Every structure is written in C-alpha cells, then in structure tokens.
Amino acid sequence: MTAAPPDALPILVDGRPLRIEDVVAVARAEARVALSRDPAFEARINRGADFVDRLIAEDGVVYGVSTGYGDSCTVAIPPSLVAELPHHLYAYHGCGLGRFLDPQETRAVLLVRLQSLAQGVSGVSLGLLRQLEALLAHDILPMIPAEGSVGASGDLTPLSYVAAVLCGEREVWHQGRVMPAAEALALHGLQPLRLRPKEGLAIMNGTAVMTALACLAWRRADYLGRLATRITAFNVLASAGNAHHFDQTLFSVKPHKGQQRVAARLRADLASDRPPRNEQRLQDRYSLRCAPHVVGVLEDALPWLRTNIEDELNSANDNPIIDAVEERVLHGGHFYGGHIAFAMDSLKNAVANLADLLDRQMALVVDARYSHGLPANLSAARGERAALNHGLKALQISASAWTAEALKLTMPASVFSRSTECHNQDKVSMGTIAARDALRIIDLTEQVVVALLVTARQGITLREAVSGELKLSPALAGMHADLAARVPLVVEDRALDVELRGLLAAVRAETWSLYADA
Ligand SMILES: N[C@@H](Cc1ccc(O)cc1)C(=O)O
C-alpha cells in the first residue's frame, strides 16, 4: 500500500475534532491530510511557540525546556546546552523493541499526534506541524517499534522514532523499502528539523500510539460484531434452529439498545415474524439463543468506546500545557492513557467473547449429535468416500485454538501498573499494551470468523441437501452465493489455508456490507 492518491478527499486538521473514521481513512490511504492554512489557526500555533521562547528568555527555567526530564526535573541545564536537550530526549528513548508498527498503524500515529499538537496548547512551532503533515503527504513512515511504552508519560519510546525521523534520523518505510530518514526527506526536498526547546517533549509526551491503535481496533471490532451476527443467522438456519429466539416482543422487555439492534438484525436475516403459540423445538443452545446477549455487549459498548477514543484523539495529551493566552505553563498528567487502557481492555473482552460464541456455534454445527441432521464434520462426501473424508474437522480444532489464544489475552493490561522512572511515573496506564492486545485478539477473532464463513458456506448447502431449499432472505442469499464463489464446497479433503487467507483479506477489506440500520 502507498500514499493516498493526490485527488483523495482531504481531512482538514485545524484543531477541530476528528472522528475514528478520519483516522481509519488516513491509515488506509483513502484520504490525505491537509493542515489548515487559515491565518487565525497559524497565529494560534505560533503564539504558543513564541510564548515558550519568551518565557525561557525572561524566566530562565521552564520544566523540560531548561531542566532534565521527569524525575530529573531538579537538574538545571546550562543555557548553552538547552538547545541540545530535545535531541537528547529522543536519543535516549531510542530503545524500542518488538515488531514495527505496520504502514496503516504508522499513518494513524502521525495523524493522531498532529491532531493533538494542532490543539495549539503544546508550545510547538508551525514548522513542526508542517513537517508531520509532509511525512503523511509523502508517506514517509517512521519505523516505530511497538514495545517499550508504559502508556503514561504517553508513548515516549515509540514516539521517539517519530521525533527522530522529523529530524532526519533513524529509519523510515518509504517507497516499498526501509531507508534512512535523511534520504527519504531529501528525496522530497524536506529539511530535517532542529527542534525548538519544548518540541521533543511535545512530540513524545503523549498517547498517540495507543490512540491510533485504538481507532483501528474500534473499526475492526465494529465490523466483527456485524459479521458475528450474520454468521449466527447462517448457523441458525444450517442447524434448523429456532428463529423466534430473537422475537421483537421478547427483546422489548430487555432494554439494552445494542442488544435489541442485534436481535433486530437477526430477525431481518432470518425473515422471521411472529412465533407460533408453541414451538416444535423449544430452545436452542446458548451459543445460538443468547447470541444477541453476547454480540450485544460489544454493540452497546461501541458508542462509549468511541466517545473515550475520540475524546483522547481530540485532546492535548501532553505536558506541560502551554496557555499562551493567559501566559501560563500548566503542569499536569495529560499523557496518562487511562481511558484508552480501559477502553482497550474492555474491547478485548467483548471481542474475544465473539470468538468464543462463534467457536461454540461451530462446535454444534459440525457435530452430528447437535446439528439436527447435518453430516458429521459438515463433510459433503457421500457413499463409500464418506468414510475417507473428514470435512471441517481440523478447521474446528483450529478455530478452538484461535479462540483459546484470544481468550487468554483478555487479561487486563491496565491492572499491571508498575512504578517506574525513579518513582516519578509511579502509576502508569499500560494503554499501549492493552491496545496491542486488542489488535491481536481482533486478528485471532477474524481467523475464527473466516472458519465460520467456511462453515456457513458448507452448512447452508448441506442443510438444503438434507431438508430441501431454504427460503433465504436476499441478504443471506447474496452473501452465501458470494461465499460459495470464493470457497468451493468441501467434498474431498483439501488444504483450506489459501482460501482462508483470501477470506481474511476480504474481512479486513470489509467486503460484505452488513446491516444499514446503524
Ligand atoms: N512525562 C514526564 C516527562 C518525562 C519525559 C521523558 C522521560 O524519560 C521521563 C519523563 C512528565 O511530563 O512529567
């Protein structure tokens, strides 16, 4: 993937709120970023940086500007060395390890940091904002190691890689390869920055990495909730289940709005109207009957998760905050990512529960004891070849492995706060770890989802073979036909991994439009 096309929609950064969708569009290179050229905006930014300059000249001492950082704030830096200080900040934080953020994640980080600095209270120059804009415009992506942030004092270590690249140091991903940052800047006629006194802290002392990852996780979780709902509908039909578990009156007495929406989606998919006075089969197992109660937890959480994520996205999450209007320096802890930590720990739980729900549904549908007439392992082989073929047996085992791994990762990260940095940072959020866990759980849940898409493709066809043609709603018929085109019916045993990877790519691309209700 490369930079957004020049005619892509611009997302204006001028200090006004952005939404998760804006971050996702920039991450996916579907939109480009335009920093405001409005003179009032530019004046507001310059005023902050000018105030910091004046303050140093007039007062001599400003935390993090003419002192050491954090616990070292009692150390005064000699005036002749102050200019070197911000470069030391990113230099000694260059100790990140682990995987590198991928291009989508990195673009999201750049935009999220730009959005925070554009609030105009971080005391940075317009030149710094423009350099961030230029990295996005030319798709010059700092190689950012994912590990090494405690998520308070923000994402100091990973963001040191952004600071260094702005100054022409360390490495970037550009034009399909890793290259020195200086080379990439030169290719586009960009000058490395020389950071002004407060600018190292302003770039690094914030929550941009965890917030960027949270935006991407939220979007994928939203789609997973929809997929889990659609897959439940397929499994109800494949296993000759009871569509009336999702009855409107039934859900009118349980007022969770998201849960009601999931039930309504299932009603629409199953084209079910009023249940008869007495059902032939009274109650299906919980993984089918309680699907709205499981998917609904995510559905009801998504709006408040959005609020938390977007409030962080639109915040000045830096320290100190520079109030150039009242001419004050406000020392606080806005780099503390507690809301993102809690949001991501919660999202982990809700998404892993989707994996668990779907894994249990698959266990029912592949088991001839519970599937009401479907062949064992959903094998389509007939006659003497039936003995030879094992259908989806291994796929169900794999789905259980992916589910177990997702569930294992739901341990909250935010409760593992440690006192660090000589007890200055004695309570920290671990929000970046929570966000990374959330993404991993989402990866695993997407894998469970594609196993279930193969199950749905197989299960619906085999139900029709057993019970005659099903009257599928147009949405289900269309999606089943699409799945059938992607995955030929499994009759003779075959390796499914290539098809599964194809389905994974389709999930990541949000290929199927699912539910226009919200
Ligand atoms: N985040 C700390 C500053 C800090 C920066 C870098 C460090 O290595 C340590 C601490 C504060 O604002 O109080």
Q: Is 80 exceeded by the pLDDT of residue 3?
A: no
Nearest CA to ligand 1 atom 11: 70
Distance from chain centroid for Cα 200: 27
Q: Which residue has the tokens 């089918």?
A: 288
Instruction: Return the CA Rg of the chain.
Output: 26
424 C-alpha to center of ligand 1: Å? 8
| Domain(s) of CATH 1.10.275.10: residues in the chain | 9-206
Residue 329 Cα to ligand 1 midpoint, Å, equals 16
Cβ–Cβ < 8 Å for 156, 166: no
Question: Which residue's CA lies nearest to atom 4 of ligand 1?
Answer: 70
Residue with CA nearest ligand 1 atom 10: 70
How far CA 363 is from CA of 220, 255, 444, 484, in Å, comes to 25, 30, 17, 21
Give the model's confidence band at 7: pLDDT under 50 very low, under 70 low, under 90 confident, else very high.
confident
pLDDT of residue 270: 94
Active site residue 92: no
Q: What is the H or E stretch that residue 51 is in?
A: helix 39-59
Domain with CATH 1.20.200.10 in the chain: 214-315+336-419+427-508
**Closest by CA position to 16, among listed 31, 43, 30, 35:** 35
Q: Which two tokens stand for residue 459?
A: 């299960």
| Predicted local confidence at residue 491, as pLDDT | 98
SS3 for 79-119 is: HHHHHHHHHHHHHHCCCCEEEECCHHHHHHHHHHHHHHHCC
Residue 59 has pLDDT above 90, yes or no: no
Cα distance between residue 122 and residue 56, in whole Å: 15
Q: Token digits for 507?
A: 């999930």
CATH topology of domain 214-315+336-419+427-508: Fumarase C; Chain A, domain 2 (1.20.200)
Residue 66 — pLDDT band, cuts 50, 70, 90? confident
The whole-number pLDDT of residue 278 equals 58
Mean pLDDT of 14-34: 97
Residue 46, CA distances (Å) to 13, 40, 115, 430 in order: 16, 10, 16, 33
Taking only the tens place, the pLDDT of each residue in 346-374 is 999 999 999 999 999 999 999 999 999 99
Q: What CATH superfamily is the domain 9-206?
A: Fumarase/aspartase (N-terminal domain) (1.10.275.10)
Residue 103 — pLDDT band, cuts 50, 70, 90?
very high
Atom of ligand 1 lying closest to residue 92 CA: 8
Amino acid (1-letter code) at residue 175: Q
What residue's CA is closest to ligand 1, atom 3?
70
97-100 and 145-147 beta bridge pairing: antiparallel
Alpha carbon 438 to chain centroid, angstroms = 7
Lookup: tokens for 34 = 């335009």
Q: E strands of 148-217, at which residues? A: 171-174, 177-180
In the chain, the percentage of residues whose pLDDT exceeds 70 is: 98
Helix/strand number for the chain, H first, E second: 18, 9
Banded pLDDT at 9 (limits 50, 70, 90): confident
Nearest to 460 by CA among 477, 448, 485: 477
The answer to whether ipTM exceeds 0.90 is yes
One-letter amino acid at 228 equals A
**For residues 201 and 90, what is the distance between their CA atoms, to the nearest angstrom?**
9
pTM over 0.90: yes
How remote is the CA of residue 260 from the centroid of ligand 1, in Å? Answer: 46
Please report where in the chains the tokens 């995510």 appear, as a residue: 298
Question: Residue 1: pLDDT above 60?
Answer: no
Q: How far is the centre of ligand 1, averaged over its atoms, from the C-alpha of 205 (Å)?
A: 7
Please state, in angstroms and rounded to a whole number, the distance separating the CA atoms of residues 64 and 108: 27
pLDDT score for 273: 64
Helix, coil or strand: residue 67 = strand
Strand 141-142: give its sheet, edge to edge: 141-142, 171-174, 177-180
- Give the number of the atom of ligand 1 that is nearest the alpha carbon of residue 335: 1
